[in-house]
Structure 1
Amino acid sequence: SPALSKITGGKIWLKLENQQIAGSFKPRGAFNRMFAMTEEERQKGVITCSSGNLAQGIAMAARDLKTKAVICVPGQCPQVKRGSILEKGGEFVELRVIGTYYDEAEIESMKMAERENLIFISAFDDPYVAAGQGTVGLEMMQDEPELDVILCQISGAGLIRGVATAAKALRPGIKVWGVHAKANPAWPEALKKGMVELVDEEVSLADALGGGACQNHFDFVINELEGLIAVTEEDIAKGIRFMFEKHHQLVEGAGAIAAAAALAGSVDLKDKKVGIVVSGGNIGEEKFLSALSCGR
């Protein structure tokens, strides 16, 4: 990114996962998990909870494997993502909308898995999902082996754990920062209290980063990340606008948030070689136009 390199004083590369199939990095983990299932598990069918992006990967894999998939999304899941889930999964997918926020939808989906004898697939707390998503970090290091810093989204922490694990295996001294919306303080609160608890979150342009922190990733976040960066809604909007104006990329709030952190000067990147994960581009027209307006 010549534009972001000029602003930050570093040398910045963007990992454009918005160009991935289904418009985000999520199919990497979804396909890895689904294709690792036994025939018996496939016969039972699966259930997952998703803010919308993992669900599209699960839907595609379910269609390919001819496996039933029940997909639960929170009410804040954009219509553009809901429509894409149904289109990609066809007859093999059943979509259920639960509550407003991710956490309540996830809790209910886990109960459904027990009641209906379905295999539950976590969006972030699953080794196969994390390994699949880690290929993002692997590819970044293969393309630019001398990266000093990676800025990556953090929500449940499945993506950033996979990315950091791959990157640090190839370059042990690399520094990885977790970037989250200020509207969702799940990880800062977890680190402050020394444990993961449910916290209240606000509606955010980065709707794909909704939901709480994951206890199984707690030690990783403490020991392997350089730190956390909180990004305001105004700066997320500026990130969406920046990606559109400077790179002609349609990027959702969660996808733009790491670039937004760099754009806002949240971390010193001067003279550093930096990889930034652009995690997805599934944004509806109304939200996109709103972001362009408030990102001025």
Structure 2
Amino acid sequence: MATLATTKMRPVFPSTPLLRNALLSARFDADVYLKREDLSPVRSYKLRGAFNAMRKVIPEQALFVCASAGNHAQGVAFMCRHFGVRGVIFMPVTTPEQKIFKTRMFGGDNIEIRLVGDYFDASLVAAQTFCKAEGGHFLSPFDDEDVIEGQASVAVEIEQELGGIPDHIILPVGGGGLSAGIFSFFADGCRYSFVEPTGAKSLAAALAEGMPVDVSPVDTFVDGASVAKIGARTFERLKGINPQDIIALDEDRICRTIVEMLNVEGIVLEPAGAMAIEALSEVADQIKGKTVVCIASGGNFDFERLPEVKERAQRYAGLKKYFILRLPQRPGALRDFLDTLGPNDNITRFEYMKKSARNFGSVLIGIETDVPENFPAMFARIDARGFTYSDITNDETLAQFVI
């Protein structure tokens, strides 16, 4: 059925390219291919599931409803315009204007966007209530058999473009639609790695409990995969996988790949789209000499996030640290501190926060260096000068307020 769905898609949009990446292939001594879903018309794979689910109920159904603040909304909007049907898309009030604009651009006059609630859950309830009242067709972003079948078209194209089944596939997991579709199509024909963000390990939790469970609250940084509860239908297809094939990646670590792919390869990836590539290092011993496909699931990246992404990447790599210094209020104290810095230690932030006592002031300092080994030596020099400080680099709670 996935093959038929893929054939039906071709008049609507072309197959996304499967490209061998020379940089990654050399690094991991393997043939590493990227399935470039970031090059689809809506810069993600989501339009596949939307297309397949909608084509099966048209023309009997002409009203489609969904709740989404991202790629699913854009995929549904694109398909509403293509099929000439009405779509009502519910989004949180807090959705960035860029995502609203792109959804409206893809859907044109065929869609209506309703902003409801501060969080996705409120938008979802509103969408489902409206859909029931109006007799529309609700389009789930992942927990729908027709959506799963549509996402499986990624696997169909991989086999067609590669001329066979790869040895190893690495793919991101959020609600499970993409991974369930690909896993169902290739079955035991290859080895898999399923990648989740550390802040939203819904698949790992479901496998541990034997059923989908809510892992709220989730870290929403990897917005394309930050799902609190994997779908019931998707988990039914994935429940037999080996838990050891699941890889959890720290959100800051994922930023490292986003920056490298942008600077070196000129590829723009969203956090979820970079996860499979970053996970290569976790399976380096398994993939030597193998044919490996990484699913670059999306490239809807808001460049206003780039400073944050760079910051996270540097912190993960150990190239940037933040600390609060207790600076004596005496002549020459600042000069004494500056003398502790090495030739490649650069101050990127210096901010008096408050005077905690008459003779001392609290200063927030950010230091960037070229190799992480510089920091132990720098802190040793600071200690030798008798300064008091607190390293807050990895204190996420405090960092949210002061960094």
TM-score (norm 1): 0.90
- Relative contact order (alpha carbons < 8 A, sep ≥ 6): 1 or 2 greater? 1
How far the C-alpha of 1:77 sits from its partner, in A, is 4.4
Q: Structure 2 vs 1, CA of residues 156 and 288 (structure 1 numbering), >3 Å: closer, same or farther?
A: same
**Letter aligned with residue 155 of structure 2:** G
Q: 2:186 corresponds to which residue?
A: 167
In 2, Cα distance between equivalents of 1:4 and 1:138: 23
In 2, Cα distance between equivalents of 1:155 and 1:267: 26
Q: Report whether the alignment pairs 1:217 with 2:234.
A: yes
Aligned residues of 1:178 and 1:229 also touching (Cα < 8 A): yes
In 1, Cα distance between equivalents of 2:297 and 2:94: 19
**Equivalent of residue 28 in structure 1, options 40, 48, 53:** 48
CA displacement, residues 157-196 of structure 1 (integer Å, 9 cap, x when unaligned): 111111222233xxx4301221111111222222222221
**Letter aligned with residue 236 of structure 1:** I
Q: Structure 2 vs 1, CA of residues 187 and 146 (structure 1 numbering), >3 Å: closer, same or farther?
A: closer
**Equivalent of residue 205 in structure 2, options 189, 194, 200:** 189
Q: Report whether the alignment pairs 1:269 with 2:287.
A: yes
Aligned residues of 1:259 and 1:276 also touching (Cα < 8 A): yes
Q: Structure 2 vs 1, CA of residues 261 and 245 (structure 1 numbering), >3 Å: closer, same or farther?
A: same
Q: 2:312 corresponds to which residue?
A: 294
How far the C-alpha of 1:256 sits from its partner, in A, is 0.7
Report matched runs for 1:68-107 at 5 Å.
68-74=86-92, 77-107=95-125
Identity of aligned residues (%): 28
Q: For 2:252, what is the secondary structure of its paired residue?
A: helix
Q: For 1:150, what is the secondary structure of its paired residue?
A: strand
How far the C-alpha of 1:272 sits from its partner, in A, is 2.2
Aligned residues of 2:24 and 2:32 also touching (Cα < 8 A): yes
In 2, Cα distance between equivalents of 1:76 and 1:223: 37
In 2, Cα distance between equivalents of 1:272 and 1:4: 12
- Identify, as 1 or 2, the structure richer in helix: 1
Q: 2:171 corresponds to which residue?
A: 152
How far the C-alpha of 1:132 sits from its partner, in A, is 1.6
Report matched runs for 1:1-80 at 5 Å.
1-42=21-62, 45-74=63-92, 77-80=95-98
Unmatched 5+ stretches in structure 1: none
**Letter aligned with residue 200 of structure 1:** S
Q: For 1:39, what is the secondary structure of its paired residue?
A: coil
Q: For 1:289, what is the secondary structure of its paired residue?
A: helix
In 2, Cα distance between equivalents of 1:200 and 1:6: 39
Unmatched 5+ stretches in structure 2: 1-20, 315-403
Aligned residues of 2:145 and 2:233 also touching (Cα < 8 A): no
How far the C-alpha of 1:100 sits from its partner, in A, is 4.8
Q: Which has the larger radius of gyration?
A: 2
Aligned residues of 1:151 and 1:176 also touching (Cα < 8 A): yes
Work out the number of aligned pairs and report it: 291
Aligned residues of 1:206 and 1:257 also touching (Cα < 8 A): no
Aligned residues of 2:89 and 2:113 also touching (Cα < 8 A): yes
| Aligned residues: CA RMSD | 2.2
Aligned residues of 1:51 and 1:208 also touching (Cα < 8 A): no
**Letter aligned with residue 132 of structure 2:** E
Q: Report whether the alignment pairs 1:228 with 2:226.
A: no
- Identify, as 1 or 2, the structure richer in strand: 2
CA displacement, residues 260-290 of structure 1 (integer Å, 9 cap, x when unaligned): 1114558742232110000110011111332
Q: Structure 2 vs 1, CA of residues 292 and 65 (structure 1 numbering), >3 Å: closer, same or farther?
A: same
Pick which of 147-156 and 111-120 moved more. Answer: 111-120
How far the C-alpha of 1:25 sits from its partner, in A, is 0.9
**Letter aligned with residue 149 of structure 1:** H
In 2, Cα distance between equivalents of 1:209 and 1:74: 17
TM-score (norm 2): 0.67
